[in-house]
Chains A and B, each alone.
Chain A
Amino acid sequence: MTQPMQSLPEMYHTMLRIRRVEEALAERYPDQEMRCPMHLCTGQEAVAAGVSIHLRQEDVVFSNHRAHGHYLAKGGSLDAMVAEIYGKSGGCCGGRGGSMHLVDLEAGFLGSAPIVAGTVPLAVGAAWASKLHDRDQVAVVYFGDGCFEEGVLHETMNFASLKQLPVVFVCENNGYSVYTPLAERQPDRPILEIARAHKLSVDEGDGNDVQDVAIRAGKAIQAAREQFKPQFLELHTYRWLEHVGPYEDDHLGYRPAGELKKWRKRCPIQRTAQVLTEEYGWSQADFDKREKWVAKEIEAAFQFSKESPPPDSITASQFVYAE
């Protein structure tokens, strides 16, 4: 309990930063200058914050279409992310990827891609390399509940377990794939049991409670690192905004009435703020200070993106092959 508790201010900061960055993106998206699909993780920030607190720079992370939080929590450059979404040359892929394809090799963020389950085996490959080369690097992959329907997830878990690889599978179960609830896609059985059947070490927790995430992730990452035991974490959480795009979508009626409201009350950031107030004696000034830091950083990132030159279309043909 003590370790994540010590890191609570840092995790709070990470969550706040992700939230404010995405709010800023959402606010400016209607300007039509970010011309790419964008999947926001608003409401789900605790997962990335609680997992990443235990990761070293050399540990590697893979992610999916909803990657902003995973990337930032791992230390991905904010400037490069915002510029990427604006399609600028200063973007982390020079504009080739947009929101769905983030990368920051220096930070150990090896890439995100939107084909469902597509990056899950890549993380296991990275863990395999780590074991082959006797490094104590851990590989983490974030994916949604939808991944459990794809064959490649099961093929990959099988291999990770067979070879006892240092990988942590992190499932963000937000109950939906686009507009389709879990119950219309999978039978009523805990997805955790599938991972257990593959002989992974499994655990589940409250994905909207960063302390709970951090405690469970800490154990999992340590076991993966020290004992070469593949891990599975299911974290229950909820997406507040539309599947893709900057807006709310409760009016579409695919969520049961009151569900969003209930989850909004379980805001991971507010809950942490309450703990910080009650148990850490944080004052309003402490919170204001963080808000200010984050706002300043965000302002700078948008400025960076604005000033970053557009990439030259001549360069679009580069990098089809490595030279």
Chain B
Amino acid sequence: MDRRASSAAPKSANTAKKNRGVKRQLTYGEAIREGLYQAMETDPGVVVIGEGVPDPKAIFETTRGLREKFGADRVLDMPLAENGMTGVCIGAAMCGVRPVMVHQRIDFALLAMDQLINNAAKWHYLFNGQGRVPLVVRVLVGRGWGQGPQHAQSLQALFAHIPGIKVVLPTMAGDAKGMLLEAIQDDNPVVIVEHRWLYNIRGLVPQKPKRERLDRARLIQPGKHVTVAAFSYMVVEALAAAKVLAEYGVELEVIDMRSARPLDMEPVLDSLVKTGLLMVLDIGWATCGVSAEVSTRAVEEGFEHLRKPPKRVTLPDHPVPTSHHLSVDYYPDAETIAREALVLLDKPLPDDESEEVFLRLHRALPRDVPNPDFTGPF
């Protein structure tokens, strides 16, 4: 066995031993790898397939060592045929296989939309409950280093529009593993949206293959002034903003939405009873996006608690340009969130304190690479 082969499971075992008694931390990427490893170990029907799955870069390490352990029949590369191969995986899924497909960019999954929407999403329904498609599709959202208009889109809303598909966006390492395990068990097509900037962030991850529900948002930072419903990487930025604002007496209540379909509004509505103010943060565009859905549901179901219209913090309504000079203001961050929160609250702080908050959250470092200071843990 080559050196890589043994790295997936034993490494986590070592970490566990070393940290006995201490809660165990893994990066988001490691957590995904461990999830895949454990799923393949318990269910011989699970296969992992995608362009680059067994290659030297191993999908940002998430598939490292799997082929050596589980064999080339179950861990495989695929031809550059996103639509056709999605159909192949759907057919296999109907017949007892549990494929986990992975696309290194969500943009490549666009080629597979026909199979996903016309077949995977409809099969169970249209045959009157006969036939199931237990398919998992992992899609990675790119950002930064000039990946530009065709390699850095956040397209979760396209999938979330479709009844019959589940769409989840884990942010925490523990969820990356737990929701992946649950998605593999689920008898429906599940799209897992993974933001590239989450990969090196550490979090608590149980060693056991503990599954996490796909239909639950989670309150992760209590606060009493503004409800912040955030998706994916925006949760990270929201927590950073919340931390600094708290020192000035302004409390954000941050909810990691975790799932775009089904959408769990309960923690948001509960929170609104207390705060009356809502911010919705998404990694994608606003128009017809998941933030539009959250805002609408909040208005429909929690109108009496809202003191102001919901405020969305999303991408500007145009593609992301490649040049870092052009994209410098493209991605909203913790500073943007703090600014918008203070506007919603009718400027509760003296000007000099507000300025101090913004200054502390301001990112002077290049904005097209992940923040090197922040690697977790949560």
Interface residues of A (CB under 8 A from B): 35-37, 87-88, 91, 93-98, 100-101, 113-118, 146-147, 149-152, 177-180, 184-186, 252-254, 310-313, 315-317, 320
Q: Is B186 an interface residue (CB 8 A)?
A: no
Measured between beta carbons, the chain A residues less than 8 angstroms from B71 are none
**A95, B79: Cβ atoms under 8 Å?**
no
- 18 pairs of residues in contact across A and B, judged by CB atoms under 8 Å: A36-B322, A95-B326, A98-B146, A98-B323, A100-B150, A114-B150, A114-B151, A118-B150, A147-B80, A152-B111, A180-B51, A185-B77, A311-B321, A313-B328, A316-B327, A316-B330, A317-B317, A320-B318
Name the interface size band of chain B. 35 or more
Q: Report the Cα distance A246→B149, complex, angstroms.
A: 22
A87-B326, A310-B323 known; 13 new pairs, CB 8 Å cut-off, are A36-B145, A37-B146, A97-B148, A98-B148, A98-B323, A114-B150, A114-B151, A150-B80, A151-B83, A316-B326, A316-B330, A317-B316, A317-B318
Indicate which residue in A116, A117, A316 contacts B316 across the interface (CB closer than 8 Å).
Answer: A316
Write the nearest CB–CB distance from B333 to chain A, whole angstroms: 15
Contact pick for A100, options B80, B148, B323, CB 8 Å: B148
Q: Contact: A184 with B326, CB < 8 Å?
A: no
- A113 contacts B150, CB within 8 Å? yes
Which chain A residues lie closer than 8 Å to B327 at the CB level?
A: 313, 316
Determine how close the nearest CB of chain B comes to the CB of A265; give it in whole angstroms: 25
User: Per a CB cutoff under 8 Å, which of A37, A95, A115 touches B108?
Assistant: A115
**Residues of B near any A CB (own CB < 8 A):** 51-52, 55-57, 77-84, 107-108, 111, 145-151, 316-319, 321-330, 366, 368
Contact A95 B148 (CB under 8 A): no
Contact partner of A180 among B55, B147, B149, B368, CB < 8 A? Answer: B55
Q: Which of B52, B55, B323, B330 has the most CB of A within 10 A?
A: B323
Taking A35-B146, A36-B147 as contacts, is the C-beta distance between A151 and B81 under 8 angstroms?
Answer: yes
Q: How far is the CA of A254 from the CA of B84 in the complex (A)?
A: 26
Which of the residues A177, A254, A313 comes within 8 Å of B80, measured between beta carbons? A177
A-B complex: 10 closest residue pairs judged by Cβ atoms: A36-B146, A87-B323, A95-B323, A98-B322, A149-B79, A310-B325, A179-B55, A149-B80, A96-B321, A252-B56
- Name the residue of chain A whose CB is nearest to the CB of B151: A114
What residues on B are CB-neighbors of A149 within 8 Å? 79-81
> Out of A97, A147, A180, A315, which one reaches B322, CB within 8 Å?
A97
Distance between B4 CB and nearest chain A CB, rounded to angstroms: 11
Shortest Cβ distance from B146 into A: residue: A36
Contact of A91 among B111, B319, B323 (CB under 8 A): B323
Q: Knowing A87-B324, A316-B318, A317-B317 touch, does A37 contact B147 (C-beta < 8 A)?
A: yes
Q: Is the CB of B52 within 8 A of A179?
A: yes
* B328 CB, nearest partner CB in chain A, Å: 5
Q: Which residues of A contact B83 (CB under 8 A)?
A: 151
Chain B residues within 8 Å of A35, by CB: 145-146, 323-324, 366, 368
> Shortest beta-carbon distance, A85 to chain B, in Å?
9
Task: Give the residues in chain A near B146, CB-CB below 8 Å.
Answer: 35-37, 87, 98
Q: Which residue of A lies closest to B330 (CB)?
A: A316
The listed residue (A97, A101, A178) touching B55 by CB distance below 8 A is A178
B323's partner among A96, A152, A317 (CB-CB below 8 A) is A96
- Cβ-defined contact, B148 with A101, below 8 A: yes
Known: A36-B148, A179-B57. A88 touches B52 (CB 8 A): no
| A179 to B329 alpha-carbon distance, docked (Å) | 35
Inter-chain contact A320/B317, CB cutoff 8 Å: yes
User: Residue on B with the closest CB to A116?
Assistant: B80
Query: For A91, what are the chain B residues with a Cβ–Cβ distance below 8 Å?
Result: 323
Query: Once bound together, how far apart are the Cα atoms of A313 and B325, in whole Å?
Result: 6
> Which chain A residue shows the least CB distance to B114?
A151
B57, B77, B80, B82: which has the most chain A beta carbons within 10 Å? B80
Q: Is the CB of A254 within 8 A of B56?
A: yes
Partner of A178, one of B52, B78, B151, B324: B52
Beta-carbon nearest neighbor of A118 in chain B: B150
Beyond A149-B81, A178-B52, A179-B52, whether A115 also contacts B150 by CB under 8 A is: yes
Question: Within the complex, what minimum Cβ distance (angstroms) separates B67 from chain A?
Answer: 12
Residue from B145, B146, B318 having most chain A Cβ neighbours under 10 A: B146
Closest to A95 in B: B323
In the complex, what distance in Å separates the CA atom of A236 from the CA atom of B96?
41
Q: How far is the CA of A65 from the CA of B317 in the complex (A)?
A: 25
CB contacts (< 8 Å) of B111 on chain A: these are: 115, 150, 152
Bound form: Cα–Cα A310–B321 in Å: 13
Residues of A within 8 A of B78 (CB): 185
A95 touches B80 (CB 8 A): no
Q: Are B323 and A180 in contact (CB under 8 A)?
A: no
**Contact between B56 and A180, CB atoms less than 8 A apart:** no
- Which residues on B sit within 8 Å (CB–CB) of A185? 77-80
B354 shortest CB reach to chain A, Å: 23
